[in-house]
Each structure stands twice: as structure tokens, then as C-alpha cells.
Structure 1
Amino acid sequence: MKAYALLLLLLVLALPVYSQEVGSNLAIVSIKWGTSSQSVEVGPGSVNAPLTIQLLNRDDIAIRYAKLTLSLPEGITSTDDSRTAVVFLPTMNPGTISEAVFYLNIDKNLKTGVHQATLYIEGVNDDDTTFLYTTPIQLRINGEVSLHVSNAEKTVMAGRRNSVNLILSNNGTGTASEVEIVMSTSQQVSILSYPTRFDKIDAGESVKVPVEIYVAPSLAGSPVTINVAMNYLDSYGNPRTVESTLGYEVAYSTPPNLLLEIIPNQLTIYNLNDVKLRVTNAGFTVVRDVALTLSVNLPLVPVGTDGKFNIPEIRPGETAEIPVSIYVSETSAPSSPVTVSLSYLDDSNQLKTESRVLNAFLSARSAEFLSPINLRITPNILYSGTINNITVSVSNIGSTTLRDLTITPSASSQATWLQENTLNIPSLEPGEEYKSQAAIFVASDSPTSITLAMTVSYYGRDNVQRQEERQIGVLVKGVVHFEVVDLTILPEVVSPGQTFSVTIVLVNTGTVQASAVSLRPSENIQGFRLFGQSRVFLGNVPTNTPTSVTFSFTALNSTSPGRYQLPLVVSYRDNVGEVHTDTLSVNVNVRPAGFGGPGTARTQTTTANTGFLNTSNIITIVVPLLIGLVAGVAIGRRGRR
């Protein structure tokens, strides 16, 4: 017992200043947000926040169990949304401290500050005595601190001192105090200056942090990062640290923006052209030690220079000109490239190299240097899967006579020339035109447009053979042709006022697939009325694939006996998207009412036209003859009686 008393005395002496006695045997040692191992920040909107209350058994009698009931103020609830939270504690030995942890939710609209709650403690001691205490407690809602740092600029320049701004924001509900900033970065990046301390940053407040940073020129075009560590005291005085990494894109130093020109940029064939290579610094920084190398190919020939030039310095807005003489030999090209390789030191003392390509236009003194050949093919629309007769027309649009003119079509997998490939013309006077007939077969699987390549060679006035490669584009259309290859009429014998069906088998005997195919009877059908569907959409119809379509008609009572044609209209698109409409005809025989038997189906196959009567035709002829013969015999016998 004395040992318990001594232990109790020591614990009481060790109690912090905020301890609170509750009854004769209990004392509240501490009330804090969090657990014994970790403190937490609590503010409006906090969910499942732990509140720890430490109780000391000051008596020398053990407490068998205790029940703690916390009555909560408006805006604070337990995890089950109740205004009351309950925690049970097991045996509390004399002189020991027990912890009761309540998990609470804080309404997002609750204001920060001190809120009053009531704690009810009831229990049973080991000597079977009971106790019940009531004590007010204060719940301090100071808010949560949420520090966030961002960079206002996303780009820094290589080889320069950059002034950037960081934005330090407190997006929480509590105040951060004694904020200390520590920055670090990678090699070749130096942080020159920045403020390191702020007394406090209130909730919702943002402060600007100016930073001076230098990035080495070698990091141009690469990303760099800055590590920011923020040490501060939260709204409950607990030390905390938040770390963040900010990224920057390292841009190259502002380029000098050198402009290169050839003045004039039109050169004359067979002439020594004096031109100037003009270099203008349209940027904002000076460039030094500019070295230029001029490279050209035939027909351009530099005269009197090796094509290497140096300019000591070009300031912003200044222009430097280099005189160059260029001879242009004979060519049929309309232009020729001039390559200029240049190197220079920019304002960050970095060596830059560039390669520019300038185009010089070439002109001739007379039209003889232009192509004198005008080559045409008519018609310019060919049909696939068939032989096309074409006309190749060659005209001399030059000013001199052309000799030994040869035109050779090039082989192609899409088009085949059906006669001698080479066309020879001994001579062609200026303004004269020569026409040659040819036949060409275009493959069925050819695209909607093909190119016919031809090689043209000839001799001009200077007796130099010239050769040109020509390509002539033509449009290729496929052939779509619909035929009725089979026909069935049910019943075969159609009488006025009777309904019958017509089933046809349609086949595309062309060379390409027809798309968006639809079939309908013509609107102008004399003596018949359509019964049932008026239009059938077939979609895509490939070649040589039978497609069956059935329509029903009713012969009008006023329809006279005889043979009629039922026109059927086929609409479709070909392979180039053009819409076509064709009309097919179906023959129908109408006979007087009561003629013949009950009627059977009549089948007609149009492709099997051998010149002989088929079975259906024989029946059509023989049956009426037999009926007439039987009727004649019967009438004759009555007459003899």
C-alpha cells in the first residue's frame, strides 16, 4: 500500500500544468488531437480525427472498468453521425494512465476556435463501489495546414541568370507559423538567392518567393528540378515538413535569328551572274565569328571563290553582304538549291551551327531551253477490265524542229500496251502535231486513277539528245452491267385481277463491284399495280454473284390479254462514285380469265438461249392445243346425235 501511495505521489507531481482532477480518484492528464504516437491537425472538414484523453487513477484501489461518454457540441459528431461518443476502458490499476481515443468528424462549416464539450465518466472500483463524474472539456479546432508550392514560370534560359517566382500557398484551414524554406538542386544549376523564412502564412494566403537561378549552357533543351523543403509549425504547434519538387524546361538562349538571302534570286542560264549573299541579324543579341560555307551543284558553278567566307560580328538589326559570281550551265530544271552552312558564337558564348538551303530560280534567254514537247492522251477516262482505244498526241510547241523523236511507254502492272511500245517520229516542225492510235488494257483491280509513264527523247537544233520523263494521269472507271439471268413468275398464267409474283436473279457481269444498289419497278407500269414492297436495297453487289429479288404485282381487271413488259429500274454507284440508273424488262403473259388450269410457276432462264423450246414453252403450246382438240371432239359428237 505504501508503494502505491509513493507511486501515486510521484505521478501527481509529474502531471503537466493542464491536468484536471475529476472526482476523488481520477485526473485528466491530457487532451489532444491524435494518438500517443502521432499528433494530427484538425480543422473544418476533418473526418475520423482521433481525440485522445489520458486518465490517471489517483486512488490506491484499482478501477474494474470505466465508461467515458463525450457529449459533443454542434458541428462535431462521432463516426456514426451522433452527438455522443462512447469509449470503454478496461482495468485501471492504481497509479497508471489509460488512454481513451474518440474518433470524431468535424463539419466543414464549423468555425475554428474553442468548442465546449462535456465528458461523463462512470465506473466500478475493485471494492464494488461505483462512481459517476461530469466535467467540461474544451475542444480546440485550430484548422489544418496545407502548404503547396508552385512555379509561376515553367521555363528558364540556359547560360543566363534567371529570375523566377515561386508561389507558396496555404490551401488549408489553419495557420502555418515559423515557415522555413530550404532549396536544393542538381549539378550545373545554382540557386543564387531566395528568402528563407516567413513568420506565418494564414489559411488561404499565398506569398511570392523570388528566386535567382543560374543554369549551365550545357543543360539547354533538358529538364531541371528544384527540391523545396518547407519546415513549419502547424496550428497546434507541432513541427512538420513538406517537400516538393518543381520542374523547369531549360530553353536555349534566344537565337540571333539570322536571315539569309541571295540577291537577286533569279539566275540566267549560260550567263555569269553577279549576286550578293546577304546575312541579316533579325534577333536581339549579337553574334560573333560568323563563318559561312557556300555549296552548290551543277548547273551552278561558283567563279573566283572557294565558297568560304567570314564575318567578325553582326549586331542586332545589322546586315552583311558577300559578293559572289555564279555561272549557270545548260539545264532544264526550273530552280537549283544553294546550301549555306554557317557557324557562330551566340551571346552565351556557345558555338552554334546551322545549315540553310536557298533556292535560286533559273531562267533562259529564249524558249528553246524549255521543253518543246506537249504530250496528251485522249480520252483521259479509261475502263478497267477491258481494252481501251486511245490517241497519243505529240505537239512541238517550241521554236525549232525536233528530230528523231522517240516516245517509249514504261511498263506498268496496272496498264498494258497492246502494240509496239516505241513510237518513232522522224521530225516534228514547230506547231506540228502528230497523232498515233494505240490500245491499252487496264487491269480489273486498278485504282480509280493511274499514271502512264513515258520516256521522250529527241534532238534539237544543237544536235544534243535530250530525254524527258513524262507522266500522264488518267481516270479509271470500272464497268458495271446488270443482267437478268433467271426469271420465275408464279403463277405462270396471269389473268386480269390476279396477284402474282416475279422473282428475278440479278448478276453484275461487269468488272467492278457496284455499291448502293437498289431495285424498284418503274413508276409507269401500264395494266399492273405493285403489290407489297416498292423498293429493294441490295447494298454492294460484287461481280458474277447471283442475287435474287422478288416483287408482287396485281393485274388490273381492265388489263387486256397479251404480252407485257414490266420495267425494273436498277440504281447504283460505280467505283468512282458516279450514280447510274439502268432499266431491265421482264415479260409477263396475261390471258383471259378461266383460261388454262389453276396455273403453275413459269421459269425463264435468259442465259440458256440455245434456240430450242424449253419444257415450259412446250407446255404453253401443247396444253392449249389439247384443250381445243378435246373441246372440238365433244362438240362434233353432240352434232351427230
Structure 2
Amino acid sequence: MSLNLFTTTYLVLSNTLNTTLYNLSVTLSSPIYINSTAFNLASLKANSQYKLPMIVYAQNAGIYSISISIVYYQGNIERQEQITVPVYVMQINSPAIPILIQFNSSTLLTGQVECTTIAIQNTLNQPLYNVTISLVTQGTLYINTTTITLPSLQPLQRLYVPVGVYTQSAGIVSVSASISYYQAGQLKQAQEVINDLAAGSVNIIITGVSTVPSVAVRGSIVSVTATIYNFGTGPANGLTVTVFPPKDIVVIGQNTYYVGNLGSDTSSTFTFAFRILNSTKPGSYVIPLEYTYTNDIGQVLHSHSNITLEVSNGSSGFFTSSFRSSNNSHISLIGILGIIIVISIVIVLVIVFLRRR
């Protein structure tokens, strides 16, 4: 949000469960101004969202927190959650001078070189000449370009200069810009501050899947456990996994699994149980997944993946088992007959031998 401006924003409530929640009471508290700090909602349907509008205002730049208390009923059980949401208040450059400079990126990623651009715009209806911009980073921010020289900026022209940016810290990052230019033949100078947000990246990859049984059979229940790993530079906080199976495969219980906080370079697992309907055709089924989480600056993000489930024809498996059982019975019967024949031959030889004596 911007400094010294009344900003309209929304608090988004998401019900990730398969059941409706009732009598929701939401209470907000924060050092910054919020026009409404209490909300009541009769119900929130399964897998739905509701946006609560509010107006916020801050006089000083910095990082603030909004504490959110939510009380609701799930069935006949009263539940309560406490959430803290960070709010970043930045000083946004106003075109008091004719050149407006800003990062052309909503959020920079920490722990890696981010290839982005700096947008430079002439806000006047007259050209500017011999524009020189010197950049000085603050804190742990590094930038590979420190001087930008432009022969001219035409009226209302907007240019993009590619830069490489690196930072290890999440939050507000700033770059000081010293600008000199000629306007109508006169040399002028100015100072600006370029602000942006930086957050750790999140890259969730499935590294393994186990299924019990290994091949699902029509009319049965199968359990699927997947191992996930966060290859990003930042955490996925409050991670939930939501599954969307096809029509002939039904989730047993909730279709959302709460994983919790998944830090950088860490792994975790989630498990879903499915009922394979008798009408399900044999084959390979791709089941979509959606990950929902907040990054280390409180942004709610989504990413997607999928798991594959193999379904076989139950009757063919039974036939194979019966065939093996029948085959083993025939082998046993032949062995018994062989033994009887051998014993008979031995008896005959003994009788013949005794008669000769």
C-alpha cells in the first residue's frame, strides 16, 4: 500500500473444506488505520471465497502487522484461528519531477539473480535531453547496473532498461536514484527512491508417490501418499493441498490436506484416500492438485501439480489368481499319482521275489 493514501483492499476468506462453515466472526487489530475492525458472516460454503472490503491508511513507511481472529462453527463445534498478515507501506514516487522511475516487477525473488527491468518515463509533453541516472542500493540489495545514460526522453515516452538484481532479505527493498537532465536548455537535478517488494521463491515438486494397493481395482479403496519438496528460496507457510479427482473416483473425507509450513529445502508428505467406483474404466487417471500457501511477505499464492492413479479391471486379476490356484492343484494331483504308481511297482517286485524263494 502507498504512504499517506487511503487504500481500498480486501480480506479474502477461503474455505478449503468440503463442508460449510457457519457464524463466522472476524476481528482485526493493527497499528495502522482500518475503517472496519469487525465482520460477521452467516456462512461460508465449501470450497468458496468471500471478500471483506476495508480501507487502510498509514502515515509512515514501514512494515506493519494486522492481527486477525476468526471464530466459526464447523458442524456443532466452535473453532478459532489466529492469523497475522504483514502489510508493507512504501513511499511511491510522485511525478514532482518529470522523470518517474520504478521497477517493472511486482515482487523480486530473494536468493537468486532476478532479471527484471527498470521503467523510466517522461511525464511531460516536452522532450528531456542528456538524462543520467545514478543508482545506489541500500541494505542487502545488489544491482548490476549503477549508471543509466539516455540521450533523450521524448514527451510521455516510457523506456525499459534491463537490470540484474540480487537480495537475500524479504520485505521492502530500496534504491536511491540521482538524476540529472536538461529541460528546455536548463540543467536540472533531482533525487528519487525506487521501492519494491522482495520475497522468497517457492517451488514445490513431487519427488515420490506410493499407492496402497499399487494398482487400484474397481470397487475398492486406494490410499495415495505423495512426498513433496520445496526447491525454492523461501517458505510456503500454511500450505494446503487440494485434490480434484475425476467423476468416477471419489475422495474419502476432505479433499484438502493441511501440510503446514514447508520451509526452503525441506520435504513433507500428504495422503488422500479414494474410492474407485464400479463404473470406473480401467486405465491411467491424472488427478490435478492445487497448492495454496503464503510466502514470507504474506502474499497468498497458488501453484499446481498432479498425481497419476492406475485403475485395473478387477475381474482379470481374479481370473489370474484362479488360474494359478487351478494349475497348482493339477501339479499336486500328478505328484500323488506318481507316488502311487511307484509304490505299486515296488509291491509287485517284492511279491515276485518272495515267490522265487
Scaled to the shorter chain, the TM-score interval is: 0.5 to 0.7
1:538 to 227, 234, 259: 259
Partners of 1:381 and 1:477 within 8 A in 2 = no
CA positional deviation for 1:508: 2.1
CA positional deviation for 1:452: 2.0
| Total equivalences in the alignment | 228
d(CA) in 2 for partners of 1:432, 1:593: 70
Query: Which residue in the other structure is 2:233 paired with?
Result: 511
2:117 to 390, 394, 398: 390
CA positional deviation for 1:489: 0.8
d(CA) in 2 for partners of 1:392, 1:580: 25
CA positional deviation for 1:582: 3.3
Please tell me whether residue 482 in structure 1 is matched to residue 204 in structure 2.
yes
Percent identity, aligned pairs only, is 22
d(CA) in 1 for partners of 2:101, 2:248: 54
List per-residue Cα deviations over 1:95-121 (Å, max 9, x = no partner).
Answer: xxxxxxxxxxxxxxxxxxxxxxxxxxx
Please tell me whether residue 417 in structure 1 is matched to residue 143 in structure 2.
yes
2:220 to 477, 481, 498: 498
Bigger shift: 451-460 or 545-554?
451-460
Give the aligned residue type for 2:246. Answer: I
CA positional deviation for 1:371: 6.2
Please tell me whether residue 433 in structure 1 is matched to residue 157 in structure 2.
yes
Change (3 A) 1:497 1:468: same
Change (3 A) 1:383 1:596: farther
The list of structure 1 runs, each at least 4 consecutive aligned residues, that deviate by more than 6 angstroms after superposition, is none
Query: Which residue in the other structure is 2:134 paired with?
Result: 408
Change (3 A) 1:560 1:439: same
Give the aligned residue type for 1:507. Answer: Y
Change (3 A) 1:503 1:404: same
After superposition, where does 1:265-280 map in structure 2 within 5 Å?
none
Please tell me whether residue 593 in structure 1 is matched to residue 314 in structure 2.
yes
Query: Which residue in the other structure is 2:173 paired with?
Result: 450
d(CA) in 2 for partners of 1:398, 1:582: 43
Partners of 2:97 and 2:190 within 8 A in 1 = no
d(CA) in 2 for partners of 1:520, 1:375: 43
d(CA) in 2 for partners of 1:382, 1:528: 39
Change (3 A) 1:460 1:495: closer
Larger RCO, structure (CA 8 Å, separation 6 or more): 2
Query: Which residue in the other structure is 1:580 paired with?
Result: 301
Please tell me whether residue 379 in structure 1 is matched to residue 100 in structure 2.
no
d(CA) in 2 for partners of 1:530, 1:494: 14
Partners of 1:565 and 1:586 within 8 A in 2 = yes
Partners of 1:407 and 1:454 within 8 A in 2 = yes
Partners of 1:512 and 1:542 within 8 A in 2 = yes
What is the SS of the residue equivalent to 1:384?
strand
After superposition, where does 1:255-266 map in structure 2 within 5 Å?
none
Give the aligned residue type for 2:285. Answer: Y
What is the SS of the residue equivalent to 1:558?
coil
Change (3 A) 1:404 1:485: same
Partners of 1:372 and 1:397 within 8 A in 2 = no
Query: Which residue in the other structure is 1:191 paired with?
Result: none
Change (3 A) 1:566 1:408: same
Query: Which residue in the other structure is 1:555 paired with?
Result: 276
List per-residue Cα deviations over 1:44-86 (Å, max 9, x = no partner).
Answer: xxxxxxxxxxxxxxxxxxxxxxxxxxxxxxxxxxxxxxxxxxx
Change (3 A) 1:595 1:471: same
Partners of 1:384 and 1:441 within 8 A in 2 = no
Root-mean-square deviation (Å): 3.4
After superposition, where does 1:319-358 map in structure 2 within 5 Å?
none
d(CA) in 1 for partners of 2:273, 2:261: 24
Change (3 A) 1:462 1:559: closer
Partners of 2:103 and 2:196 within 8 A in 1 = no
After superposition, where does 1:88-99 map in structure 2 within 5 Å?
none
After superposition, where does 1:55-70 map in structure 2 within 5 Å?
none
Partners of 2:109 and 2:198 within 8 A in 1 = yes
After superposition, where does 1:58-457 map in structure 2 within 5 Å?
372-385=97-110, 386=112, 387-395=114-122, 397=124, 402-418=128-144, 420-428=145-153, 431=155, 433=157, 435-443=159-167, 445-457=168-180
Query: Which residue in the other structure is 1:52 paired with?
Result: none
Give the aligned residue type for 1:491. Answer: P
What is the SS of the residue equivalent to 1:487?
strand
What is the SS of the residue equivalent to 2:265?
coil
d(CA) in 2 for partners of 1:462, 1:435: 22
d(CA) in 1 for partners of 2:199, 2:249: 37
Give the aligned residue type for 1:440. Answer: G
CA positional deviation for 1:403: 4.2
Instruction: Give the unaligned 5+ runs of structure 1.
Output: 1-369, 599-622, 631-641
Give the aligned residue type for 1:587. Answer: T
